[in-house]
């Protein structure tokens, strides 16, 4: 009996709630009134304009998504019921609408496609740079006056010659994401979904970090070939441990376990098989007057960026001397000319050096791509008295080496020889064809062979480098591994080794 009473009470409450809801529905007017009719005549009108007419005539609120609000629609209606007009217009243009019952607002969007929420964020890069390809393109447009905005748009990822952060971000973009680059502020403007934006922010923060730098200590020497031929290793008979000191650590000379096979004069190496190392002496630049220091620069460059050194000149490649006599007093006039081919190609003569370092911080190593080049002009075989010509002789090499921080790489073998051709002649008579040879004199001198030797010592620079103008000249680098000290100690080291060399030579005699 009690259960029947509870069930009857529950049925009564349900019926009462249904009756109250029906009364409330009857009291409120329908959202789309059946008696409201729409009349309009449009040709190629925007959807937002049509929805505005709907709102005025029917007293309803509409919101169109950004993707469809500018869609063009052509229609003609005369007293069509509101609900029927909405269904026909939206279905004919692949549109749909949803009612927000809370605010009584109709949201119009493309049928079958959900709206995706996107956010836009500007990333100002501190250390990295925007795409090099885009930078060159925008610079070209700015210089030509074609563009002044400095922006280049990326709607989706495309295979381009980009690298670094820009390439990584484009790979992470979703189908609705986009990216813009502004090289003037070195920033990226990224638009994507909130979930993708979180991943992109983490990737940019991980990649936009300070790049380690390399201090390249370079010495370029022009040495007489005779001096270079004297370079070699000479071992004495007093056992000792040879240590080559570098920028950060000491390194033992690694020939202790070899057999006795070398002599300085005969070209043989002599080391005790017991494992002892012997006194080593390097005969280098014995005659100081035959050595010229061309340059001793110190270059600070970023990781994987090329540092370039050039010592060039515009060289005179031809000279014609004319001697005239006035009352028995000779007067010589020199006319300088240049090779036509050389002027067209604009090739400079001199010394070029390109170094691209790559740092391995874990192993404290530096991999360097080294490309030295030496170019000199010489008298061409086609040269004549009337038309002096010259040829540009180029010697270059390219190598990839790996060294520890503070170790020194020595490059040599770029040899050149200065040859001069001097022509003397009598005015007028020396220019006569055939017989003019009896009034001319040519003197060709063969110069001394000289070799370019380059010392490169890289030093890893960790952290920020903050040098004030007054402190730049006071920067001191550690002693290089070839044993040449910085400052006043350098002369002492050279003289000490030269005196030691002379004593060993005199002892053998």
Out of 207, 235, 263, a domain closes at 207
| Neighbour tally for 25: CB within 10 Å | 9
| CA gap 337, 360 in Å, rounded | 51
Instruction: Name the domain boundary from 60, 75, 110.
Output: 110
Same domain? 105 vs 129: no
Instruction: Assess if residue 385 is contained within a domain.
Output: yes
Please check whether residue 212 lies inside any domain of the structure.
no
Same domain, 133 and 104: no
pLDDT computed for residue 464 by the predictor: 61
Residue 100 lies in a domain: yes
Residues 53 and 83 in one domain: yes
Is residue 318 domain-shared with residue 400, that is, in the same domain?
yes
Shared domain check, 191 and 69: no
Is residue 439 assigned to a domain?
A: yes
Task: Check whether residue 125 and residue 75 sit in a common domain.
Answer: no
Cα-based angle 125, 128, 129 (whole degrees, multiple of 5): 90
Position 146 scores a pLDDT of 42
pLDDT confidence bin for 157, thresholds 50/70/90: very low
Contact (CB, 8 A) for 378 and 419? yes
pLDDT higher than 60, residue 138 = no
Do 100 and 126 share a structural domain? no
If asked whether residues 99 and 134 sit together in one domain, one would say no
Write out the residue range of the structural domain in which residue 441 sits.
Answer: 288-478
Q: Would 5 be classed as within a structural domain? A: yes
- Asked whether residue 225 is domain-assigned, the answer is no
In a domain, residue 271? The reply is no
Give, as one character, the DSSP assignment of residue 210.
P
Do 83 and 128 sit in the same domain of this protein?
no
CA–CA separation, 38 and 54 (whole Å): 8
Q: Are residues 331 and 460 in the same domain?
A: yes
**Are residues 437 and 415 part of one domain?**
yes
pLDDT of 261 over the 50 cut: no
The residue from 110, 145, 180 where one domain ends is 110
Report how many domains make up the chain: 4
pLDDT interval class at 350 (50, 70, 90): confident
Q: What is the pLDDT of residue 459?
A: 92
State what percent of residues in the chain have pLDDT above 70: 49
| Same-domain check for residues 418 and 302 | yes
Structure tokens at 205: 């923060």
Q: What is the pLDDT of residue 475?
A: 42
Supply the pLDDT for residue 444. Answer: 65
Among 26-40, 276-290, 346-360, 465-479, the range scoring the smallest mean pLDDT is 276-290
**At 71, which CATH number?**
3.55.50.30
Residue 458: what pLDDT? 92
Q: What is the CATH number of the domain that holds 139?
A: 3.30.1370.120
Decide if 508 is inside a domain.
Answer: no
Q: Cα(318)–Cα(486) distance, rounded to whole angstroms?
A: 42
Q: Is 158 exposed, middle or buried (0-12, 13-18, 19+ CB in 10 A)?
A: exposed
Residue 393 CA, chain-centre distance (Å), reads 30
């Amino acid at each position: 009996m009690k259960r029947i009473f509870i069930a009857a009470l529950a049925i009564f409450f349900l019926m009462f709630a249904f009756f109250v809801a029906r009364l409330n529905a009857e009291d409120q007017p329908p959202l789309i009134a059946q008696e409201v009719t729409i009349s309009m005549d449009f040709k190629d009108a925007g959807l937002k304009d049509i929805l505005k007419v709907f709102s005025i005539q029917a007293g309803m609120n509409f919101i169109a998504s950004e993707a469809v609000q500018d869609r063009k629609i052509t229609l003609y209606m005369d007293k069509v019921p509101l609900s029927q007009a909405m269904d026909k217009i939206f279905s004919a243009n692949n549109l749909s609408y949803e009612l927000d019952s809370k605010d009584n607002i109709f949201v119009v969007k493309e049928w079958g496609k959900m709206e995706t929420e996107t956010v836009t964020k500007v990333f100002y890069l501190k250390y990295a740079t925007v795409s090099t390809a885009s930078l060159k393109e925008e610079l070209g447009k700015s210089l030509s006056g074609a563009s002044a905005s400095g922006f280049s748009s990326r709607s989706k990822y495309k295979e381009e010659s980009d690298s670094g952060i820009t390439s990584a971000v484009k790979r992470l973009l979703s189908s609705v994401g986009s990216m813009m680059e502004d090289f003037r502020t070195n920033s990226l403007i990224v638009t994507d979904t909130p979930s993708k934006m979180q991943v992109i922010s983490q990737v940019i923060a991980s990649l936009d970090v300070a790049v380690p730098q390399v201090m390249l200590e370079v010495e370029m020497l022009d040495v007489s070939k005779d001096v270079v031929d004297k370079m070699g290793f000479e071992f004495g008979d007093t056992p000792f441990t040879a240590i080559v000191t570098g920028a950060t650590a000491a390194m033992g000379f690694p020939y202790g376990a070899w057999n006795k096979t070398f002599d300085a004069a005969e070209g043989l190496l002599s080391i005790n098989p017991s494992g002892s190392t012997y006194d080593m002496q390097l005969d280098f630049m014995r005659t100081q007057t035959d050595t010229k220091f061309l340059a001793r620069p110190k270059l600070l460059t970023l990781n994987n960026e090329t540092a370039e050194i050039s010592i060039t000149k515009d060289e005179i490649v031809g000279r014609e001397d004319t001697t005239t006599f006035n009352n028995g007093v000779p007067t010589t006039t020199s006319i300088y000319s240049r090779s036509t081919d050389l002027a067209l190609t604009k090739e400079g003569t001199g010394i070029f050096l390109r170094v691209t370092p790559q740092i391995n911080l874990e192993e404290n190593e530096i991999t360097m791509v080294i490309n030295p080049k030496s170019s000199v002009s010489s008298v061409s075989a086609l040269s004549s008295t009337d038309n002096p010509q010259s040829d540009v002789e180029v010697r270059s090499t390219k190598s990839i080496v790996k060294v520890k921080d503070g170790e020194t790489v020595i490059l040599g073998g770029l040899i050149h020889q200065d040859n001069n051709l001097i022509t003397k002649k009598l005015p007028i008579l020396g220019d006569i064809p055939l017989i003019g040879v009896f009034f001319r004199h040519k003197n060709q001198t063969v110069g001394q062979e000289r070799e370019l030797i380059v010392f490169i010592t890289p030093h890893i620079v960790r952290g920020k480098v903050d040098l004030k103008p007054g402190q730049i000249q006071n920067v001191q680098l550690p002693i290089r591994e070839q044993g040449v000290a910085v400052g006043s100690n350098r002369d002492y080291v050279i003289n000490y080794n030269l005196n030691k060399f002379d004593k060993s030579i005199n002892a053998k005699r």
